[in-house]
């Protein structure tokens, strides 16, 4: 059973990367370093083995290994939410039971995708997961797996262990509807990095995202500014974040994040194929030079990974 009250699963929660070596094997030391780096930045929890963790490029045993390493290294310092979702219920529940056994605090799962499952089948998928463990669960609403409407979310919220939603879409006006019709205790986690501030202002309890790995200090600072009602200061931070995100996405997504983490000596430079790693290439040298210019032109001070350039 979780050591933490699910009501307190709030704040800044990085969707943690999984460290790999050049030969694509799991980099245990890199994972441990990343855990400690993020916790030292005062994040409020970790969301692991999700899309950012390259979960769909990992075997079931590799996911179990990553979960166990992370839980051991965290050692109860912050809540750990393990994403266990896959296309099949059996695979998903097996991973969820293992995650509960090794000590995660909550589960999350992408809905089953590809085959165009019906709402009844999606409901049964989440109900089966809930019945297989005692942990609180966050459903995952994302356009890649077809966004669920409010009626479907209300239906899922009736499942005993479903306590919230990771909502990765720009329709933040729905947050107030979700809170009103499902209940204030139903957690909403805004999942779009470049709209984290919008999510918080719209009523999200927390924010989960990929670029939190690379610049956790900015998201933590922005969250605190929102809590202190300093919205203008929070907006300035989001603008800095977005300058970097928009630049990064023109180059790549996860490979860029891992490249920046490598500059912080976190051993996280490599992604799994078919992603292309950037590090140790001419492309990396070009990006470094472009980032130096970007930093100067936009006064991107106080961002640790850029200070390494």
Which residues are part of the catalytic machinery? 140, 166
Q: Where are the alpha helices (DSSP H) in 41-190?
A: 60-74, 89-102, 119-132, 150-157, 174-182
DSSP 66: H
Whole-angstrom Cα distance, residue 233 to residue 239?
A: 10
β-pairing, 46-48 vs 106-109, is unpaired
Q: Give phi and psi for 209, each to the nearest 5.
A: -165, 170
Q: Which residues contact 1 (CB under 8 A, 6 or more apart)?
A: 134, 135
C-alpha distances in angstroms, 189 versus 10, 20, 145, 168, 178? 8, 27, 17, 8, 12
Whole-angstrom Cα distance, residue 231 to residue 217?
A: 17
Calculate the CA dihedral of residues 48, 49, 50, 51 and round it to 10 degrees.
130
**Number of CB atoms found within 10 A of residue 249's CB:** 13
Chain position carrying tokens 């709402």: 119
3-state SS class at 188 = strand
């Amino acid at each position: 059973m979780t050591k933490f009250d699910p009501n307190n699963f709030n704040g800044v929660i990085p969707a943690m990367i999984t460290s790999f070596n050049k030969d694509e094997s799991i980099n245990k030391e890199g994972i441990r370093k990343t855990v400690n780096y993020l916790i030292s930045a005062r994040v409020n929890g970790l969301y692991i083995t999700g899309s950012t963790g390259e979960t769909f490029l990992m075997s079931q045993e590799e996911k179990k290994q990553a979960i166990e390493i992370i839980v051991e290294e965290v050692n109860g310092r912050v809540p750990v939410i393990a994403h266990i979702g896959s296309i099949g219920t059996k695979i998903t529940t097996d991973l969820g039971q293992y995650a509960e056994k090794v000590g995660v605090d909550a589960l999350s799962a992408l809905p089953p995708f590809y085959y165009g499952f019906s709402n009844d089948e999606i409901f049964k998928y989440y109900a089966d997961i809930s019945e297989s463990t005692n942990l609180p669960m966050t459903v995952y609403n994302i356009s890649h797996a077809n966004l669920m409407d409010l009626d479907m979310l209300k239906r899922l919220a009736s499942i005993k262990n479903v306590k919230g939603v990771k909502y990765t879409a720009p329709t933040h006006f729905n947050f107030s509807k979700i809170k009103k019709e499902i209940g204030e205790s139903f957690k909403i986690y805004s999942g779009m990095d470049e709209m984290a501030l919008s999510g918080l202002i719209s009523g999200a309890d927390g924010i989960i995202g990929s670029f939190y790995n690379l610049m956790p200090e900015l998201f933590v600072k922005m969250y605190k500014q929102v809590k202190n009602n300093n919205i203008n200061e929070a907006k300035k931070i989001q603008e800095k974040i977005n300058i970097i995100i928009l630049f990064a996405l023109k180059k790549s997504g996860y490979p860029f994040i891992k490249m920046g983490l490598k500059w912080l000596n976190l051993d996280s430079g490599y992604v799994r194929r078919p992603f292309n790693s950037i590090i140790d290439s001419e492309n990396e040298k070009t990006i470094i030079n472009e980032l130096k210019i970007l930093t100067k032109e936009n006064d991107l001070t106080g961002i640790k990974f850029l200070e390494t350039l």
